[in-house]
A and B are shown apart, each in its own frame.
Chain A
Amino acid sequence: MSAGGRRDDGGLRAWLPTLLAFASGVAGALAVKRMLYPQAFARIAEVPGIARRAPPPLVPGQVPFDTRDDGLDDETLDRVLADTWRREPGFVGWLSSVDHKDIGRRYIVTAFIFLFLGGLSSIAMRIQLARPENGFIGPDLYNQLFTMHGMTMMFLFAVPVMQGLGIYLVPLMVGTRNVAFPRLTAFSYWIFLSGGLFLWASFMLNIGPDVGWFAYVPLSGPEYGIGKRPDVWAQMITYTEVASLAGAVSTIVTVFKQRAPGMSLDRVPLFVWALLITSFVIIFAMPAVMMASTMLILDRLVGTHFFNPAEGGDALLYQHLFWFFGHPEVYIIFIPATGFVSAIIPTFARRPIFGYIALVLSLIATGFLSFGLWVHHMFATGLPMLGASLFTAASMLIAIPNGIQIFCWIATLWMGRPVLKTPLLFVLGFFFIFVAGGLTGVMVASVPLDLQVHDTYFVVAHFHYVLIGGAVFPLLAAVYYWFPKFTGRMLSERLGTWNFWTAFIGFNGAFFPMHILGFMGMPRRVYTYPEELGWGGINLLVTAFALMLFVSFVLLTVNVVRSLRSGSVAPANPWDAGTLEWAAASPPLPHNFARIPVVTHEEPLWHERESLPAVAGLRVDAREIVVTTVTSARPDLREASPDPSIWPFLSAMAVGATFLGSIFSPWFVVWGTPVAAVALIGWFWPKGNPEDEE
């Protein structure tokens, strides 16, 4: 993978302006930061372990070397760098933080709070469905609840928690000190938080959306959508999509340009690959749903007729736009989860992953193929046979890259010496559930089968097997795995085992019987069902196990709280893992690494047991990172990394208020724009780096 010279940057240089313009354009500004300053090349010294050379003598008139890290001992270096990279004190400082660890942690904690709310809404629905003709909640609340459940789980939990883990872990795993666009990432979090609060506040005010997370027209259109409910749906989509796009752009540039020297593309951890590919899928999928939701709100608010059949609009156009996003969305959630699995299996199998190249290619293939499946959500809409057949074949095809991944993971375990700790236990649960979900996915790819089970509880069972099995179990594995890194404390293995078994039994007991309910003909999204159909017994069973699944998350919470108060202290590398994040302290210092490591192997910490070679020559009095080439990660430049700033928060508030107001009057878009523009001008105000001006 050693492409010659600097040519290997050609592709990215062409991409960067596009990606940047996209992100800032979405936010309503055209200010594009000049990204690469012409700076001196970082000097590389392959110092074994920690450089302990005497500081060079200061010569008046020369560049003062005491602002570089060469001559400082490790302890001083950590202290000085931590001071340079720390966030400002106080509440404003908290709001201004651009540390990827702060932002990532906020993302993760917020997403778990939304998981709890989404879980509560499902428990309410399960109590209603436990008995036929039950009167616990009526159709009005039920329809809001299943819409809130779907939106919360998809947009406020699954996607953000994956992006949050990426924001936290990717810089650590590629050996850098911050993400490429820290302020954009901070902005992304505040927008995401505003969107989530907006949705749940609307629900509390009884204007929660009640048209399903897919909000099909004409049911959500101006004629049949009640009050402001579908508008809340449409604008909430806009918030979370802006947040996801901003996070995705930052992740892509971080992975392409900020990897530690020596981390050529064939040494990039698979989790980082997974986040990279997910980010590309986000960039291509999310605009489709933003278009759909914007056209919908235009229909509702300013009287356009995009989806009005009576005026030549088309209700099916909406479904195509929605599912062109909606199917890749599943992979936006699932691909990062495969990254967790690929990170955890080598550590506990005690050997490097088998089939690294095959796994990377499978991820890329999955990313591409995910765009070719959307019509299998629309088989019942009366498509031509030939078109439906094409999408059947494409849906079958995506089983191949996923199969390759499963086989490579099993081969890794087979050849390794597995150590059964809680993270691996959750990964085994993932295999059990996800493989079953993938196989029912093959079933619903078949048109005649799908026409039977489409929109029944069979499909509910299928996608919970895929999403909970394929994403939540790996996520829980990831929580147990990286919790020591995040907090410096270990989670209890004993509670972890209880957590696993309650989740595993609760999940299968709740969702396996739904396959049968689907075959018995129970449709989705019904708030009740007649007694004589005989669905009552199975539904009661499902509800009981759903409560057990809920309890498993309570156990997780107990484990986390106990561990934070009195858990055993975690060393830097408690699992003896091989990737770079375990070289940082637990929890990492604000600057992540005292010295940027030089990578010599795909599992650097296994390869360099004594100490990592490191880069020297970075400034310690200002935030500086190393920029490397895209494919071979040869050191290229020293680059200033942005300081904390309150402007991303203020910009997010301005943009968020614009979105919120726009469901009441289109004029909010007009009046919100100058406010957002002022905030963005503050954000992009030139900093005047003295070194650049020399």
Chain B
Amino acid sequence: MAGGIESLTWFFIAVCTVVWLLTMAALGFAMLRRRRTDHADPLKERPRADRLATLAVSGLVALTAVILVVLTAATFLTGKSLAGMQGEGLVLRVTGQQWWWQVTYESDQPSRVLSVANEIHVPVGETVTLKLTSADVIHSFWVPSLAGKTDLIPRRTNIQSFVVDRPGTYRGQCAEFCGFQHAHMGLLVIAHPRAEFDAWYEAQLKPAERPSEASRQRGEQVFTSRACAMCHGIRGTSAAGRVAPDLTHVGSQQTIGAGTLPMSEDNLARWIADPHHFKPGVNMPKTDLSGEDIGAVAAYLAGLK
């Protein structure tokens, strides 16, 4: 899918390099060619040379036009083949927010609608259609190895479709300057074979497991009774905040803070203790939890697989 873009890119690079080399060769020859030494008068008329130059320049302009027509045609053909993909396939709604991605898997059954953050799991070899919009400012969805960019614009819905050919993890990042932490607005697209994807989906639909260890129970209690629950939701608990990423299965994710830190219990603790150290200006406030409470919350969240 991105393969069509890649071959078009190489074609353009090849044509442009040849044109550049020929132009530089002409310039070099113009500067260095040997000349007879007879005319000092800059206004000396040389009709024959002028005629030749007129012919040469006209020919080169015509050649330029031909090259441009070829490049334009190649563009249109590639564009057409990219636009010609059939079927909607898996439909996701992606909402850009300062500075994270809310991803909603749509379904006819309300119980099967799934909302996750910053990670998009898709089945390999199937069309994925993203409905892109924004909750605040303009963002741009870009996973370089999969497809070009599409902007997320408030009150508009843009569509991007792609097919992932090989299983794997593909990194993406916001590509439209969106304020303070534009640099830390990453996302991952993770492509699985269909069966694996289905298993992941079913697992994600389940509510969070109740913790069994005492320390993690304390973590849950702190989470649901302190400021955390004002913004974050964890299905299966009383935490029902909607303005920040849903953390029901946060422990199964690969990163913290939209690609800011790798996921681990230690990193969770460091992040909760002072998110602004890693992502200055992030909307998550620094909390006044004790070190012990932070450890408990981190342990609780890390266990939410």
Contact = CB atoms under 8 A, between A and B. Distances in A.
Q: Taking each of B149, B158, B259, which has the highest tally of chain A beta carbons within 10 Å of its own beta carbon?
A: B149
Question: Chain A interface residue count: which class?
Answer: 35 or more
Given A139-B281, A380-B140, A399-B68, A448 B78 contact: yes
Interface string A127-155: 00000000000111001000000000000
A555 interface: no
A449 B5 contact: yes
A410 B42 contact: no
A415 interface: yes
A315 B26 contact: no
Interface stretch (A176-184, A263-271, A352-360): A352-360
B156 A140 contact: no
A410 B153 contact: no
Interface in A221-243: 223-224
Nearest to A416: B42
B160 to A, nearest CB: 9
A140 B180 contact: yes
A523 B173 contact: yes
B16 A440 contact: yes
B8 A382 contact: no
Contact of B24 (A393, A431, A525): A431
A351 interface: yes
A578 B74 CA distance: 46
Contacts of B281: 139-140
B24 to A, nearest CB: 7
A380 B20 contact: no
A413 B27 contact: yes
A527 interface: yes
B53 interface: yes
A403 interface: yes
Interface in B6-34: 8-9, 12-13, 16, 19-20, 23-24, 26-27, 29-31, 33
B155 to A, nearest CB: 4
A170 B259 CA distance: 55
A410 B22 CA distance: 12
A430 B299 CA distance: 60
Contacts of A287: none
A439 B12 CA distance: 9
B200 interface: no
Contact of B19 (A393, A439, A454): A439
B61 A415 contact: no
A455 interface: yes
A475 to B, nearest CB: 20
Interface in B23-63: 23-24, 26-27, 29-31, 33, 35, 42-44, 46, 49-50, 53-54, 56-57, 60-61
Interface in B148-178: 148-151, 153-156, 158-159, 171, 173-178
A536 B51 CA distance: 53
Interface string A90-129: 0000000000000000000000000000000000000000
Contacts of A601: 43
B185 to A, nearest CB: 9
Interface of B: 4-5, 8-9, 12-13, 16, 19-20, 23-24, 26-27, 29-31, 33, 35, 42-44, 46, 49-50, 53-54, 56-57, 60-61, 64-65, 68, 71-72, 74-76, 78-79, 82-83, 98, 136-138, 140, 142, 144, 147-151, 153-156, 158-159, 171, 173-183, 259, 280-281
A661 interface: no
Contacts of B179: 143, 219, 224
Interface of A: 138-140, 143, 211-212, 216, 218-219, 223-224, 309-310, 315-316, 346, 350-352, 354-355, 358, 380-382, 385, 388-389, 392-393, 396-397, 399-400, 403-404, 406-408, 410-411, 413-418, 420, 428, 431-432, 435-436, 439-440, 442-443, 445-452, 454-456, 519, 521, 523-530, 533, 578, 601, 603, 606-607
Contacts of A400: 61, 64-65, 68
B294 to A, nearest CB: 23
Given A219-B138, A447-B75, 19 more contacts: A140-B281, A224-B137, A316-B153, A354-B53, A382-B150, A382-B153, A382-B159, A385-B79, A385-B83, A389-B76, A396-B68, A400-B61, A403-B61, A404-B61, A410-B23, A414-B26, A415-B50, A449-B9, A455-B177
A355 B60 CA distance: 14
25 contacts: A139-B183, A139-B281, A143-B179, A143-B180, A219-B179, A224-B137, A224-B179, A309-B155, A309-B156, A382-B151, A388-B79, A392-B72, A393-B72, A396-B68, A396-B72, A400-B61, A413-B27, A415-B46, A415-B50, A435-B19, A435-B20, A451-B147, A455-B175, A578-B42, A603-B42
A407 B31 contact: no
A505 to B, nearest CB: 16
Contacts of A211: 177
Contacts of B5: 448-449, 451-452
Contacts of B29: 414
A454 B140 CA distance: 10
A382 to B, nearest CB: 4
Q: Taking each of B9, B19, B42, B171, which has the highest tally of chain A beta carbons within 10 Å of its own beta carbon?
A: B42
A40 B178 CA distance: 64
A382 B12 contact: no
A428 B27 contact: yes
8 pairs of A and B residues whose beta carbons are closest in the complex = A451-B148, A382-B158, A309-B155, A526-B183, A414-B30, A439-B16, A521-B144, A446-B75
